[in-house]
Structure 1
Amino acid sequence: MATATYHKARKLRLYRWHWSGKGPQGRKISGEIIARSRVEVEKELSGQNIIVKTIRRKSGIGNGMGKVKPRDIMLFARQMATMIRAGVPALQAFQVVAESMRKPAMRGLVQELMNEVAAGASFSETLRRHPAYFDRLFCNLVEAGEQSGSLDRMLERVATYKEKVESLKARVKKALWYPTAVIAVGIGVTAILLIKVVPQFESLFQGFGAELPAMTRMTIQLSELAQQYWLWALGAVVAAIFFIRAGIKRSEPFAYRMHALALRLPVIGDILDKSCVARYSRTLATTFGAGVPLVEALETAAGASGNRVYERAVEQVRDDVATGQQLHFAMRLTEQFPALAVQMVGIGEEAGALDAMLNRVADYYEEDVDNKVDALTSLLEPFIIVVLGVLVGGLVISMYLPIFELGSVI
């Protein structure tokens, strides 16, 4: 019976519907409703004394369903915590949270969870059936909350954890995407000048009948190369990105080497390294503080570090701790963690406040990442301006040099 209900829940599909019609006193009104079918929309609107004129299912990615993002999961955890703390029964809490979700995909997910819990599964078992949305940490904390009768606190802890991790991810992305985007724009502008603008000047210079300056000749040669091979170059870049991403997904050794290379990059590598330490510390503090055994908490922290190098290091720490080693000593043996983090963890172990000290480690390195990202942005701005000025300005000057020389002869 439970299996049949589960499969029925899996088939649930919601869509976003746009409607227009007439309300009381003949006023024209319109809006959006999330429902499974047109009949449901008509039934809901008729219950509100609305005369329906048009109903149209919104199109888009996933038929307007949207995509479930980490922020949606964080909001779900916080809302469920609030409902359970207020004494609302679990099934009713699911219903209220589902109705408050604006994104159809998220509403459908919450209703699936509700149906599975109604069929007899526990909250944690239900979450484990959806690993694409709920990671091991989420499931472990919910299970610990169910066993200890503190589900609301555990859900609140999950929401806070995800909030901090997503904030850290956003800072790292800012450090990576800002210079990449600006440099890509600079290369794009330079390519357009070489492919489209320089050839116009080249046809003009052919009528001069005089030898062109060396800088202009070099620019024209670059332009000829760009015109001949720009498509090949673009294809090579796209192919390289595709094969690197595919290699990271399919080959563990290749993924490890790429992640190790990322940690050795100037400036950026230091930011990535500190962010991995912060995520490891935050995850371990959250799971261990919730009563999860240390070895199991380390298994969760390994997958949450976001880097294969640190994942392998944490797995080594877990194996050493399982044989009786202290956590800080096992961390030191990997030669991967900063000395400050190892020392603070050692103090936490001696004081019997490991989770509190791990949270302090995470706070310290999150703040360090934030400062480094701000410093990187401040340093890159003048550097990028100089690079773009040299690229674009050099091309413009090289094209106008013959015109200046011609003017001086006349």
Structure 2
Amino acid sequence: MPIPFLQKQLKNPPGAETADAGVERRRHVRPVEIKTHEFLWVAKAENRSIQKGEMEAVSDAAVRVNLRRRGLLPVSVKKKAQGLFGIKGRGGIKEAYIVVMVRQLSTMINAGVPAVQCFEMLASSTENKAMKKMLKGILRHLQTGETIADGMAQYPKYFDRLFISLIKAGEQGGILDTILLRLADYRERSLRLQKKVRSAMFYPAAIITVMIVVVSVLMIFVIPVFAHLFSSFGATLPFLTQMVINLSNWMSAHWYIVVGSPIAAVWLFIFAYRKNLAFRTRVDRVSLKLPVLGPILLKSAIARFTRTLSTMQSAGVPIMDALLTLSRVSNNVIIEQSVLRARKDVMAGGRMTTALKEDGIFPVMATQMLGIGEETGAIEVMASKVADFYEGEVEESVDRMSTLMEPIIMVILGIIVGTLVIAMYMPIFMMGAVVTHGG
């Protein structure tokens, strides 16, 4: 007769878990994102020539290993310095120059010009020093037998992962000229959309900054002159005037707080947004719900998502790889999480739009059109149409917001400045009334 305890042990031996439990546990494990940095490297080739370049890697040791695999002897590897507040810059090459270069490269490759000769002509024809340096760097990689994608991968601040993955697909499929042309169109549209969104955010920020500067100058330099004049009268000042003078005295005595607080607040916000996932998630969620700016940010994110999806599908990139890339280029944690859930549904045999509908972040129109694309096998076409629609919506929304914000901000500025003027002239009016009454 079998012993019940032994049966239980044989059924579930120590250290073992059921398949369902393992799947359930892995389902809740969030993949760890490996943080990479940009490095500048100098190395010697076999012919003792010195080569230089940039590489994105986890550490300088990884860069040295990669260089040795390519037959290069590392001389120096150092992390590339970042811009103000740790924000990476473009290094003197505008996005428009990159788009023109990609279009020219597409035309030359379509004409049958070898890749090495293409970059030689591009480097000799450009006048931008940073652009010329980058093109010559890619050319050196091509001369050692590497692919265009490998050369461009050394400059991640100009060519992101999406760009490199599509270039690789184009080189492997023999349709590099077509891929380059589509990438040029994609980056042109993205650049135009970014400018619209930036202008939508820059205009009110610039007006508010000017308003703060004007008010601060009045409070620190102009109001004390009136306060000194009023103190010589020895009369009791109106409540509004006295309150403005007290605030002016405090700002004059603590000017370093007035100047340093906004700068410190901006720096801390950027630092926390870049380093703290919980803070970034909260900010991204709130930003999508802002009264006027929120719909613009959401529409621009949807336009970027669908445009990238259409471009990757047209290049033949598998939907699983496309969704993983799309989650990284969304620039919003909330949308990134929604896309990753959609990718999980696709892995389980479901549809991409199921999770997007359930999350409620994407508008119904966008999910319906993408769903039709999934059913008919024309997701590339439907995603492109959705992108066209929302890009137009962003442009119209930005124009409407600019038209709406201008009078509102001017009214607010007028009220603040008008209040200061009235506060300073009230004692003068009172003195004039006393003199007139006494006369």
Evaluate the alpha carbon distance shift between residue 137 and residue 231 of structure 1 in structure 2; reply closer, same or farther with a 3 A threshold: same
Q: 1:369 aligns with which of 387, 390, 394?
A: 394
Q: 1:109 aligns with which of 108, 118, 134?
A: 134
User: Within 1, Cα distance between the matches of 2:408 and 2:229?
Assistant: 34
User: Within 2, Cα distance between the matches of 1:133 and 1:369?
Assistant: 25
Report how far residue 254 of structure 1 moved. 2.4
Specify the SS of the correspondent of 2:51.
Answer: helix
User: Within 2, Cα distance between the matches of 1:289 and 1:6?
Assistant: 43
Give 2:115's aligned amino acid: A
Q: 2:250 aligns with which of 214, 225, 245?
A: 225
Q: 1:262 aligns with which of 287, 302, 305?
A: 287
How do 1:10-409 and structure 2 match up within 5 A?
A: 10=52, 67-409=92-434
Report how far residue 9 of structure 1 moved. 3.2
Q: TM-score, normalised by structure 2?
A: 0.78
Q: Name the counterpart of 2:21.
A: none
**8 Å contact from structure 1 (residues 141, 290) kept in 2:** yes
Specify the SS of the correspondent of 1:10.
Answer: strand
User: Within 2, Cα distance between the matches of 1:4 and 1:289?
Assistant: 40
Q: State which drifts further: 282-291 or 65-74.
A: 65-74
Report % sequence identity: 40
**8 Å contact from structure 2 (residues 44, 50) kept in 1:** no
| 5+ residue gaps, structure 2 | 1-42, 55-82, 84-89
Q: TM-score, normalised by structure 1?
A: 0.83
Evaluate the alpha carbon distance shift between residue 281 and residue 66 of structure 1 in structure 2; reply closer, same or farther with a 3 A threshold: closer
User: Within 2, Cα distance between the matches of 1:131 and 1:4?
Assistant: 26
Cα offsets for 1:134-193 (capped at 9, x unmatched): 112211221121122211111011111011111111111111110111011011101111
**8 Å contact from structure 1 (residues 172, 271) kept in 2:** yes
Report how far residue 255 of structure 1 moved. 2.1
Q: State which drifts further: 191-200 or 77-86.
A: 77-86
User: Within 2, Cα distance between the matches of 1:273 and 1:206?
Assistant: 55
Ranked by relative contact order (alpha carbons within 8 Å, sequence separation 6 or more), the top structure is 1
**Across the two proteins, how many residue pairs are aligned to each other?**
359
Evaluate the alpha carbon distance shift between residue 7 and residue 342 of structure 1 in structure 2; reply closer, same or farther with a 3 A threshold: farther
Report how far residue 6 of structure 1 moved. 11
Report how far residue 4 of structure 1 moved. 5.2
Tell me, yes or no, if structure 1 residue 8 matches structure 2 residue 33.
Answer: no
Report how far residue 78 of structure 1 moved. 1.2
Report how far residue 409 of structure 1 moved. 2.1
**8 Å contact from structure 1 (residues 216, 401) kept in 2:** yes
Moved over 6 A (4+): none
User: Within 2, Cα distance between the matches of 1:208 and 1:174?
Assistant: 50
**8 Å contact from structure 1 (residues 168, 366) kept in 2:** yes
User: Within 1, Cα distance between the matches of 2:359 and 2:284?
Assistant: 16
Evaluate the alpha carbon distance shift between residue 296 and residue 7 of structure 1 in structure 2; reply closer, same or farther with a 3 A threshold: farther
User: Within 2, Cα distance between the matches of 1:325 and 1:101?
Assistant: 49
Q: State which drifts further: 217-226 or 168-177.
A: 217-226
**8 Å contact from structure 1 (residues 5, 119) kept in 2:** no
**8 Å contact from structure 2 (residues 342, 351) kept in 1:** no
User: Within 1, Cα distance between the matches of 2:50 and 2:344?
Assistant: 42
**8 Å contact from structure 1 (residues 2, 116) kept in 2:** no
Evaluate the alpha carbon distance shift between residue 403 and residue 141 of structure 1 in structure 2; reply closer, same or farther with a 3 A threshold: same
**8 Å contact from structure 1 (residues 172, 272) kept in 2:** yes
Report how far residue 277 of structure 1 moved. 0.9
User: Within 1, Cα distance between the matches of 2:282 and 2:258?
Assistant: 25
Report how far residue 205 of structure 1 moved. 0.8
**8 Å contact from structure 2 (residues 138, 151) kept in 1:** yes
Give 2:284's aligned amino acid: H
Evaluate the alpha carbon distance shift between residue 179 and residue 212 of structure 1 in structure 2; reply closer, same or farther with a 3 A threshold: same
Report how far residue 126 of structure 1 moved. 2.1
* RMSD across aligned positions (CA): 2.2
